[in-house]
Structure 1
């Protein structure tokens, strides 16, 4: 199943198909279809390189991350924690790492004060980006993606257990435990992929379209 870049025309076609599901049994059909897509899509096999051939196998070392781009001794992780803290952070004696602060994690709807309890999550996991088109990027673009501080949705400080539960899954295999954030999560997932020119596979696209439909019609 080849990856494809989402286009407005294809999205419009998906909505036309969704329009056909109106009527007496429309709700039941829509819900059954979403469940079927979820069942079909969950699991490591769907996102393996067997289904999505890449130019070269994924390796995290291809995406040099947590660099100190501006040479101030604060790496990308530290910069994110400083930016996202709800109060002025306390730094280590050398000023290179964050010792304390206060952060809100929308994935779990919890607050944290200890930086060691947080992971900085790549909204689009590196492995997912790789199989979505980043396998063809040069090293400079991969590093830029892995350390992107230009937009607040690319990197986000979250509960480390939530981040590790997500692993390299897309919204079809993982969604935040905080129900109130799920609509925003898939919306920002798609926006981040589009911003970086990354593709969606067919099941991923259908699932995101379905969640988007429910969010617009039923609310968060």
Structure 2
């Protein structure tokens, strides 16, 4: 095909080593995507996606009930959610995707496909995930999850500046208690700029009164 022709053309010149590598990876990814479509019985579901989108789509398949996951397939061993996650990990390894990048893709894909119970389990599989807990909190905020679920993740974020950003994001997304928690973090940081940001955006007279009192006690 045209990709294979381009690959051979690029390989003729040592000056084109980088584009040749890119074309080679495109050919390999296309082959992987075709194999995925055969395995899953999903025509045009993977071809032309980027590597990140391909891994994301395979992880998202794990959200489907078994009968839906296997509906379009003919023969072969039945697909399972475990198969989807293992396949995504194998693709990532094949293309040299780092552990951290794979975790971020998985977390986003699981959030986007409502695999919330599995996401909670993933967060608890290690003492601390390699990407930390911020991506879990972001997925939960984006997915409009219950308040306690969102803040279970934000409370595990050790970096207070990051935790502030997440709580403020939750507040801006209408999560009950988001601005209050953002205020607590800003107060712990003794950060006037962040206190001012909460004051401007919270729309809560009680919080505004608290901020005014805090600001009067903090050095300008």
Same fold, TM-score > 0.5, yes or no: no
Larger radius of gyration: 2
Q: Greater strand percent: which structure?
A: 1
Between 1 and 2, higher relative CO (CA 8 Å, sep ≥ 6) is seen in: 1
Q: Greater helix percent: which structure?
A: 2
